Chains A and B, each alone.
Chain A
């Protein structure tokens, strides 16, 4: 049973470009969470999605950030017009039910030049 997959593992973007981060949950998991980890800090919740629905986006910045989890395919975290402050590790986690254990992917390290 494959774990949570994230790609790319590393992403370099110049200021103003778009970043697309992908997450495939574990088989059988329909709940996806995105977290951001700034350097030397803990993880901060961004958004919680189920198939075709955003359940909780209370941690998402109001502008430039969006997320989706379509019926088919991976969940996507999209950052438009990236700025240097977006440089961080972005982790995706999935669970079978909403309050069950979340299993994390390896993360995507985004570097904005």
Chain B
């Protein structure tokens, strides 16, 4: 079965500093996608970044980047130059071709940004 695990329930970072959120996953599939979603207090789910498993290059989106270690089944999110608006719950998720594309989510990590 496909699983996603986030082992850090809470993290904090000083404004302008860098923070890394951890995520591990387990799948027997070779074709899958990995995602990070952000859920601010408004509770809207916002896509942060996406990684295709067949791509070796780590995805980046402005201040957000991932460290994708396929062999270790690890998919961490790095947030550089943290801003107050980055404070939110962050969810790691994956889907696979054989699993109808439904997303399997981790438990989430609450990120606090200190001014």
Contact = CB atoms under 8 A, between A and B. Distances in A.
B107 interface: yes
How many chain B residues sit at the interface, stated as a range, is 20 to 34
B107 A41 contact: yes
B44 A42 contact: no
A106 B37 CA distance: 13
Contacts of A107: 43-45
Contacts of A42: 91, 105-108
B16 interface: no
Interface in B80-115: 91, 93, 95-97, 100-108
Contacts of A1: none
Q: Which 6 A-B pairs have the closest CB atoms?
A: A104-B45, A98-B101, A56-B100, A42-B105, A45-B102, A99-B101
Nearest to A98: B101
Nearest to A35: B103
A80 interface: no
A102 B33 CA distance: 11
A102 B108 contact: no
A43 B105 contact: yes
Tier of interface size on chain A: 20 to 34
Contacts of B101: 31, 33, 48, 95, 98-100, 102
Contacts of A100: 101
B113 to A, nearest CB: 20
Given A31-B101, A107-B45, A109-B43, 16 more contacts: A35-B103, A42-B105, A42-B106, A42-B108, A43-B45, A43-B103, A43-B105, A45-B102, A59-B102, A95-B101, A98-B101, A99-B95, A99-B96, A99-B101, A103-B47, A104-B37
Contacts of B104: 45
Contact of A48 (B50, B100, B106): B100
B44 A48 contact: no
Contact of A106 (B44, B100, B108): B44
